[in-house]
Structure 1
Amino acid sequence: MAMDPEMEVDSPEPRGTKRLAEDAEVHAEVPQRPKRIKALDPDVVNKIAAGEIIVAPMHALKELIENAVDAGSTSIEILVKDGGLKLLQITDNGHGIDRDDLPILCERFTTSKLKQFEDLSSIGTYGFRGEALASISHIAHLTVTTKTAGSSCAWRAQYSGGNLVAPKPGQSAAPKATAGRGGTQITVEDLFYNVPTRRRAFRSASEEYAKILDVVGRYSVHCSGVAFSCRKHGDSGVSVSTPAAANTIERIRQIHGSAVANELVEFKVEDDKLGFRSSGLVTNANYHVKRTAVLLFINHRSVESTAIKRAVEQTYSSFLPKGGHPFVYIDLEIEPQRVDVNVHPTKREVNFLNEDEIIESICNEIRSKLAQVDSSRTFLTQTLLPGVTTIEPLNRDNDTNNSNGNTIPKTPSTSKKPYENNLVRTDSKVRKITSMLSPAISGDPSTSTPTNQRPSTLTPPTIADPGLHYETTTREPLRVALTSIKNLRASVRNNMHNTLTETIASHTYVGLIDERRRIAAIQSGVKLYLIDYGMFCTEFFYQIGLTDFGNFGTIKLSPAPKIIDLLRIAAETERDAHAHQSQSQSQSQTQTTITETENEATEIFTTAPSTVHQTLLSRREMLSEYFSLEISPDGTLLSIPLLLKGYLPCLAKLPRFLLRLGPYVDWTSEEDCFRTFLRELAAFYTPEQLPTPASESAVDGTGESGTAGPSESQTQTQNEEEEFITQRRAQIARMLEHVVFPALRGRLVATTRLLRGVVEVADLKGLYRVFERC
């Protein structure tokens, strides 16, 4: 009898075998029919779904704990056997499950939390999709015993594959009446009994039990008013026990020990415009371990966030020794419509709006709290010269008596005395090299405000004026959710060099070395570095442009110049420079190739100022909204953006900056436009290279000789230029020390390209080895 072609079944082939070339040639001669697409068996579908949600016993327990808390429980008891693979039982005293709901309790997507898809935007409970119990019932034997307040008895039901099953063959599968207390008890037995590959993947029961204790510990700390207990089957004692009346610090003490609880600092921060509020407890600088412990709850759901963990570690890098990490508990509440919790099968990760801004606000608050609570630390200090009096900071009188005559106890030191070649030598008065070379300049422009305040307006003073005058504007902060800006920020984070970022975040500014080559010295740990601050400032101001995009302050120009006049000045200057360079090359006849700088100069001086003028006028609304570059309808430049409070860019570079906005900004693509504009803005803000003073040039022998002496007018002009350069040099030195480098320490994400701008010149340990040989 001939078989119907539609009923033919493909012969099974061995799995994991490689088809030989000879077989391929044979099969190529016979035309192959495509394999038919068939629907998977529902049992296979349910097991696949269960494998995505219940990966390990800890995930099953997390779902059950969240259901118990949603049910209004004030007491949760957990019993575990063989790491949860043999038995996982959770008992609560919540409001229970109605007897009529038991038949569909373990069917997929049955829930009391949702009615329509739009409800996801305002969901405020832990479980909402109705998958947890259904998934567990497909890979384990599930028993539910529950009693509501209005029921005269408890009801017990057993499930398998999402359906009610009879406890014994021949009996009814309907729920049975039984004795029981109010609440619900869920018993999960033989987890993964029908998925042997998954079951064999677990290495040890003790390892799985440790993961279960971690989950219980997290919710024990966060769920105030709920008592938790967890124990192994057969043990008389409990592994975790927290009473319902315990506060958060006592819960942390019960779970993580007194070493953590004794060093906790509380913080709170909220922002109605970003729609969030956050509170928590973090350890101070006295406590550090080898691995960061982060307990993060977003809308009371335990989640993980690599971005938050990395930002917290970066915040603590200025307070902890190298290799030290903190303990952090963060409770973050965000408006439900701003959060998408339905992005991960186990809800381990969530997405929310304004992630960068919220993380920055939390880290700023933690940083300020750590800076305030710093009175119990002990330091090993040393004066640099005999007879120098050490100035003790305020609130550091640990060795003196208080007003009541009682001695203030020290925090006991648990570390050994360090070797001298590991000591970080820092003067107690934080004296810099610059204070030894020239008299200190009065006036400190370091009165910076946090970046999350309203933008300021700066009226630039004369170059000799050390003070910068600000006023607060009434402009509301702009919420930026552009995909292009997020992509540019992500690109910076992806190119982050962790070691260099930590070095800059923990550095001490030593002094300015060379203004012409833009070199400064910094100390980090026991090492001394020379860095190209021009390269670092270019990258730093570009990153400020991304983080503060749309919310820059403004520098008002008075009197306001015409843009066309500035463009003509820049074009004329570029033409003169190009002509001078071409004349020099024709005379020397030594250079045969055209450099990249020459190409740029050629492109700039051939650019028509009128073309750039029209381009800027046509986009003045966008420039004002996003970049605080205000241009009047008649082409007057009213203000330029203020990127860093306390820092004034060289306004002599303004005409060239405006002229480069024509050929070097891609106005056709949004992301490329923002990237190229911010690069040009960063180049404008980067400190300029200052020439060597005439007096130093004469000493070095670089001055010209054998020529006629300059006229009186030329001498006066040279003196004015010399005075201007001297004043600008003092201003740059002051801004670098008090504004730029402190900002680099707190905000710079050092990328790999900045490695070319750092040179290590001294290492204390290496110097000790040299002296030991002498």
Structure 2
Amino acid sequence: MIDIIMMTLLVRLYLFSTCSLGFGAMAGTVAERTAAGAGDAETFELGGVDPAREHRIVALDQQVVNRIAAGEVIHRPVSALKEMLENSLDAGSSSISVQAKGGGLKLLQIHDNGHGISREDFPKVCERFATSKLREYGDLEHIETFGFRGEALASISHVAHVTITSMTEGATCAYRACYADGQLTAARAGEEAEPKACAGTRGTQIVVEDMFYNVLARRNAMKSGAEEYAKLLQVMQAYAIDNAGVAMSCKKQGEASSDLHTLKEHSTVDIIRSIYGSALAKELVPLKGEEATIGLQVCGQLSNANFSAKKLTFHLFINKRLVESSVLRRTLEEVYAAYLPKGGHPFVYLSIRLPPESLDVNVHPTKREVNFLHKEEVLAAVQQFARDALISENTSRTFFTQALLPGLEVTAPVSSGEDLAQAAGNSKPAYDPRKVVRNHSGMSAGELDKYICRLSSTASASSGSAPRGGNEGSARRGQSGGGKRSRPEAEAQHAVAEGAVARSDVALCVQPSSCGSKRVTSASSSDRTWVPCELTSVQTLLRRVTQQSNRALTAVFSQHVYVGRVDSTYVLLQHLTKLFVVHIGAVSESFFYQQALRLWGNLAAIQLKPPVSVYDLARAGLNDSASGFTADDDSEADHIALGVVDLLNEKAEMLCEYLSLEIVDGQLHSLPQLVAGYIPPLCGLPLFILRLATKVDWTAEQACFQGLAEQLAILYRVSQMGEIFTPPEEGVGDVVAGSGATCAFENGGHLASQCDEDVLSEAWTIQHVLLPAIRRDYEAPSTHASNGAVVQVACTEMLYKIFERC
């Protein structure tokens, strides 16, 4: 028992002595290492185990500090551009140009004509916290320049390769230097790191290359070059608007044209027009206001209630700094909520001036945000200024009609009561009440006349006699268009048979003159045989007509219902559930051009009896101001008129063969009949004859045929729809029956026409002769949708939304 106790004591004593020696040795080692300054943390080894490293606070390396700071200031290329652009404006530049490659990541170059950088300042240009705009902290209370911290170029040099070329006023040469990590570097290996003399002009050029080359994570996170360039351009546009008087340009490197180009002479509105277009510029409202109690001055440009965009465009400058303010944005959106439709947004450019001492610009690394005193008063004042500006311009509103677009929806109309009754019997309506129409293209012409309230007989008599044959002429063809006539004789017989023009109901009158009575009669077409035109030039022109046509527009004309006339220029046509206003002059000219080509070589003739002198027509055309001819004496006009006669006599055989335009010995015997029953406005004959000789290219076949068709279309087009003609005075000459009006040429070649009280009005001719022909054969060109010739003004589906009935 005693032996066991003694053994235990010996073991404990041994263990105690071993541990004491081990810890003492470790303590001595640590003390020695600490005294020797070995490291800022130690690893204790006990039984082969390494504990965690001990961390102590140390100062970061200066290069690490600078790169961290650069990451706060330069987020992307647009951040660098904004800083350099503001430096150029601080330098008093009147011209600033920017070029970019790869959205500014590969290259970003800015060039100005400011006061430049002296050679002595080159070593400090990219040094952090080096600036010429601030001397002490108190200067921030009165700072009016963009820059003040001296961080912009320093930050750029830590994430990109920077080259600066600058020249001051009066210097003999410019200097160029390269920078990296805030310090001057040599342009090439072996050279000294100092500015080098070079050629240049007054101002500064900064070239930034390979941005974020040493921060790959950020470079890889950048968007595409196109998106980055769009951000660059947006900043340039904003500063261009706020700095009218400073010429600015921005383009991609290698491109010939600039995406932004403003001149010093441009006003703010001119700059906005060049950037956003005239549609916005003409709707701008100037804003100007002042609140003396807080030193507030506001100016800018706002879009009025006529302008609405899908996205808000908001340029806000406070003391010339481009900043953001979500509170002010919401304030202005509240103002526009009362004027714009839901989903519509305005254009706003605001420039706010506040006393420098009430503005704190040192609240954001990129100076994107600022703080200012009296925020509530400023917001209320700006809101009131904007409201007053909009109210002052809200005396009138502009509503744009919807232009006809391709791809019209074709819906079969429901017109009969039987169809409605059948639909009503179903549990689910078989028709859409918004799309119900009473009229369709299969109805007879003049079917709507029964809905017109007639005046009393006395009033009717005073306004003129209604045309006879109206009921007979209302018998409409069964088919609604699309089929082409096989021969002009069939067309003429078809039109007369259906009452488009009743020969027995048309009276033609002649006014006596020194030339004798001149009558217009319709020649029988039985002496002409239909010959298909196989001329390559004519077929090419016809194919061009088809290629330029619009299917939806063509459907409007081929399935239209005539509603009525608006004035002397426009008529209303219905197509299914839509109402269109149509410029009858433009449409008729296009239609007659196509008719001349389709009937080339197969045209019937309208005979002039007796024939008319081409010389007299040419002289009358020269006397017309529309010809643009001015002469000091009559000899020059006579010479030109004789030249017209000689040319048309030379081309007479071709004109007669292809167009039934017969000229014999300087006398015009006939005109082509493009539509049966339609006589062109003969007052246009003088200019027509003159233009045949001067406006048609007779040297090339296709150009010649095209010119002839165009001049015929101009002659035949509807100029203005006249009222029912008044009866002629007593003493009127012979009256003959025919298919149109007759003309008389008085002394001097002027054309006069008068008609009997029974002559059909031009408006009636358009409704019952011209529009039915257009319905059958017209291929409407796409240009009608853009030039205002055809405009949609109403749609029953849309009206149903408003009135809940049609």
State the TM-score, normalized to the length of structure 1: 0.47
Look at both structures and tell me which one has the larger radius of gyration over its CA atoms: 2
State the TM-score, normalized to the length of structure 2: 0.45
**Which structure is higher in RCO with an 8 Å CA cutoff and minimum separation 6?**
2
